[in-house]
Chains A and B, each alone.
Chain A
Amino acid sequence: MSTIGVDTPRVDGPAKVSGTVQYAADIQLPGMLHAKVLRSIYPHARLVSVDTSAAERLPGVISCLTRDGLGDAKPYYGSVLKDQPIVAIDKVRYVGDPIAAVAALDRQTAEDALELIEVEYEPLPAVLDVDLALRPDAPVIHDRELEIASSFIDPDAFHFKQRSNLITTFHVEQGNVERAFAEADELFDSTYSCPTVQHGNMEPHSATATWDASGQLTVYTPCQNPSVVRDQLADMFGLRPGQVRIVVPYVGGAYGAKTHLRLEPLVAVLSRKAARPVQLTLTREEVFMTAVRHACVVRIRTGVKRDGTLVARQVESFFDTGAYAHTGPITSKNAGTVSAGPYRIPHQSLTAHCIYTNKPPAGPYRGFGVSQVAWAYEQQMDEIAHALGLDRLGIRLQNLVHEGDRIVTGETLSALDLEGPLREVARQIGDVDIARKPTQHYERGSRRPLVRGRGIACVIKTTMTPSTSAATVRLDSDGTATLFTSSVEMGQGARTSLAQIVAEELRLPVENVFVTLPDTDVTPYDQSTSSSRTIFMMGRAAQQAAGQVREQLLAMAGTALEVAPGDLELDGGDICVKGVPVRRVSIPDIFERTFGRPRGGCLSASVVNRAVGGLDRDTGRGKSSAFFFVGAAGAEVEVDPELGIVHVLRLVVATDVGKAINPRQVHLQNEGSMLMGLGTAIFEEMTFADGQPTNASLLHYMLPSIKDHPREFRSIIFERPHPEGPFGAKGAGEAAIPAIAPAIANAVADALGGTRLHSMPMLPHRVLAAIREREAARE
């Protein structure tokens, strides 16, 4: 029986549910010290002096780290640009920027020591949004020449400006938008914005570093890309990659927040200085200062024929990447390529800027920039439908991209089905014709009714391209297989799905396949557990490696049994003669016949799976993605027009995942996306006062609660197989999320007769302000 398409239970489910899984912060090493970080209280300041002498005298303090104690470590790091210092060198660039760190016998002592560190700042004017950052007289946040990093990206993939708050601009175009605008019947021009939000990863960042006598550095960290983190640390310390070992335990949620170097450089330097293992685990407040999603302003202009045909679209997005670039240049580029949405539009001009501000560094967040541009283009689709009196499903179907279409980057779309998901969510959510009257519903005691509305949205997203994943499969003499992989298990179920793939190739029961957690001393290279690429890239590598082991096993069995290997097949841990299932020998027996007793030996194979592509930095053309995610969402909301409260009653998503290796896990990915998307649509926003975060705690930063969970909550899977994915599978983690917030916003606007919120989240005071503004405009 096939193990593909089966709801195999999580291999790590019982251990996680019973609380026996060890997470990074649970790691205890002999002699381990605990670190705490002193962080900047200014958004932008020159660092005049840092004095740790009093802190060093505090009993229990073993070592303090400042800019003067970095030794021969390269002081700056970054996944794209080496702009981020291990601890502040000459300036601090956001509230929370690390200035110094203390390693002590316990956490409390380390924390007490922070209060004894004297810091002298010379405050500088701060740049707190993208508009201010781009003004000619704006203070320049990075005023030195930045080195381009090479262990994660092709350094030639971007044009970087130096000594500028504008880091890089991606641009791609086709046709002539200005001429097409002039010829269009109607022109729509609107600006949408998204605030800084945080991932809400349940497990905080934590890293534990230790150096051995030979000079090997080991770091235990819940990072999403251990191979790259290894290379980045090796580069920082002038080591060969083999001298750095990254061990990744189970990760308690990441969503992009744990990509690339975060705490690892600081604990590694501190551990070397203290000559002891050092562990740093962030508080929740520090998590908010360590990883956030890009705030973004999107201006979108669209020229339309009266019948709803889109003829031209110009999109300019401004991504606020905060104080350090992190993956911002990639985020803005990838979002920029698809910022016109999943539509056939002959004339397009798409521009995406990546901009420094004095805010926490923004990096990957589930959806990778597409959520911000989809918030704009899917709301504008409804604006157009509303203005032209067109059906909202109809206008989308009329303009939708299909397989075989050439898109703006010049590549041809294949293996994707968006029409199916879009039609299905519209069917499930019910009539979305704008001519339909929104339903009204009276609460007890309320004289003005609560109003209900419906909305839909659909999106397209790329995956990291080019990229590389390697897998090794080993079959042992007892008939069990082990997959050696650097893919990270962060709650998405990679270990289970990858086990299913290997089991299928070797016709083994799933419980006879083990999947490692990453340990770069043992597990081969993987670029990243992100971009929803694990099943497509690592799954394919694992499938091929397992396939090679299968061929080796059949050859070995053929020799042992004196049968042509082509006449043999595998079945449930046995080798049988094709068509004669009663003639079977177990795998252990074949090993015994080959290698003798006691049983030993193993078979193994390694495969490197490389997705080629990339976009030309001058033209924006090339191959943007190894595969395309598509998804659609539908929402029904109830709005209290007197208090401004939005409640999502129903939420439906449908995604094309190629092939669901484990359908239950795909549904869970979609459901997680639905709640994250709902949170950003109506609750989540990091707030700042003069650059100071004012709600950096779970008391004040609002994630959706169980009471906010829609009563009806449905995920639907479509499967248009991809020829390069294992069993046709693409990715599942992010296909739904960018569609959620605009679907909810479209439902809110539907409920309010066209009153639309251009800024997320749709908090009560914003809803009321939008209603008032509309009423004022009518009077």
Chain B
Amino acid sequence: MQTFVLTEPSSLNNATKLLASDPDARPLAGGTALVILLKHRLIAPSILVSLDKIKGLTGIREGPDGLWIGALTPIQDVAAAQAVRKHYPILAMACRLVANVRIRNVATLGGNVAHADPSSDPPTALAALGASVECVGPHGPREIPIQEFLIGSYETALEPGELIRGIRLPSPISDARGRYLKFTDRQSEDRPSCTVGAMYRQKGGKCEELRLVVGAICPVPTRMVEIEATAVGQRLDPELIDELAARAGRGVPGITDPSGPAANVVRVLVRRILDDCVAQENA
């Protein structure tokens, strides 16, 4: 018989202690993913540690070195926050596309990142923005860049007993354009099967900075560093964009068939996102 104890600690300290006390303890944030895992008996936790009563885990704060988003902030609140929409629009775009509004009102940004589901929107945008994950655990706090935090499909760098306190976004790149695109190969509310996030800045018609991240089609969001390096200093005309996009299609880890449907999706989305970044800049 599947039973668990539900605890509702009021401090992070107690929560991490509870989680560290039992390898089968699991934290409960919004629960939108956890409840499915429970129902399908994919997990059998001994203790569910609800984070609901802990103060200071929600909210969005602007500071001199960027933005802090509390781990328990609902994804809908992230999508709607003025500070996010103004300075980090690609995160707002990605959060707006998560599932449907009923899920977004309950699911949390921290829970989304901790779940590390490859088929998800926010991680790609967070990676493109250079976000880091603020963790607290039995051995104290630490901050991990999102690309190091996400290790694999449903795998993170979190140690036993460790929790996410918040997500930190560095100061926005000034004058940068950002875009986020999502492909669902089934219905529109489905989880993405490919995501692309880009941040782009140009000067005198030439690319000064590009961050290009592909996700969902690979286990973790992947920075396309070679393509970024090629682009910098170049004028991104349609021919170059076509070439970069084709390379992106071939360069995503796990895509073996360069003319197959997966490579095609990456190619088309990367081309569209770069076209759009340049078009916005030149507008």
Contact = CB atoms under 8 A, between A and B. Distances in A.
Interface in A82-124: 108-109, 112
A213 interface: no
A446 interface: yes
A446 B275 contact: yes
B5 interface: no
B189 A707 contact: yes
A647 B187 CA distance: 10
A112 B276 contact: no
Interface string B30-45: 0000001000000000
B216 to A, nearest CB: 14
Interface in A434-459: 443-447
Contact of A447 (B2, B264, B275): B275
Nearest to A112: B1
Interface in A216-253: none
Nearest to A679: B187
A446 B183 CA distance: 14
B208 interface: no
Contact of A763 (B186, B265, B275): B186
Given A444-B276, A445-B276, A768-B264, A705 B188 contact: yes
Contacts of A447: 238, 271, 275
Interface in A399-445: 443-445
A705 B272 contact: no
Given A447-B238, A768-B264, A706 B189 contact: yes
Interface stretch (A194-202, A489-497, A696-704): A696-704
Contacts of A702: 186-187, 190
A163 interface: no
A660 to B, nearest CB: 31
Given A444-B279, A445-B276, A705 B238 contact: no
B187 A708 contact: yes
A713 interface: no
B153 interface: no
A112 B279 CA distance: 60
Given A445-B179, A765-B261, A705 B276 contact: no
Interface class of chain B by DSSP: helix
Contacts of A444: 276, 279
Nearest to B242: A447
Contacts of A443: 272
B157 interface: no
Given A109-B1, A444-B279, A683-B186, A705 B100 contact: yes
B1 A705 contact: no
Most chain B CB inside 10 Å of its own CB: which residue of A708, A763, A764: A764
A642 interface: yes
B41 to A, nearest CB: 9
A108 B276 contact: no
A444 B276 CA distance: 6
Contacts of B214: none
B272 A446 contact: yes
B2 A108 contact: yes
A563 interface: no
Contacts of B183: 643, 645
Contact of B187 (A108, A445, A446, A683): A683
A84 B279 CA distance: 63
A705 B100 CA distance: 9
B272 to A, nearest CB: 4
Most chain B CB inside 10 Å of its own CB: which residue of A445, A645, A647: A445
A642 B194 CA distance: 14
B187 A642 contact: no
A109 B2 CA distance: 9
Nearest to A703: B187
A447 B273 CA distance: 11
Interface string B68-88: 000000000000000000000
Most chain B CB inside 10 Å of its own CB: which residue of A109, A112, A446: A446
B22 interface: no
The 5 closest A-B pairs by CB, nearest first: A445-B276, A705-B189, A707-B188, A702-B186, A445-B275
Interface of B: 1-2, 36, 100, 179, 183, 185-190, 238, 261, 264-265, 268, 271-276, 279
Interface of A: 108-109, 112, 443-447, 642-643, 645, 647, 683, 699, 702-708, 763-765, 768
Given A444-B276, A703-B187, A763-B185, 16 more contacts: A443-B272, A445-B273, A445-B276, A446-B272, A446-B275, A447-B238, A642-B264, A643-B183, A702-B190, A706-B100, A707-B187, A708-B187, A708-B188, A708-B189, A763-B186, A765-B261
27 contacts: A108-B1, A112-B1, A444-B279, A445-B274, A445-B276, A447-B271, A642-B268, A643-B183, A643-B265, A643-B268, A645-B183, A683-B187, A702-B186, A702-B190, A705-B100, A705-B187, A705-B188, A705-B189, A706-B189, A707-B100, A707-B188, A708-B189, A763-B185, A763-B186, A764-B261, A765-B261, A768-B261
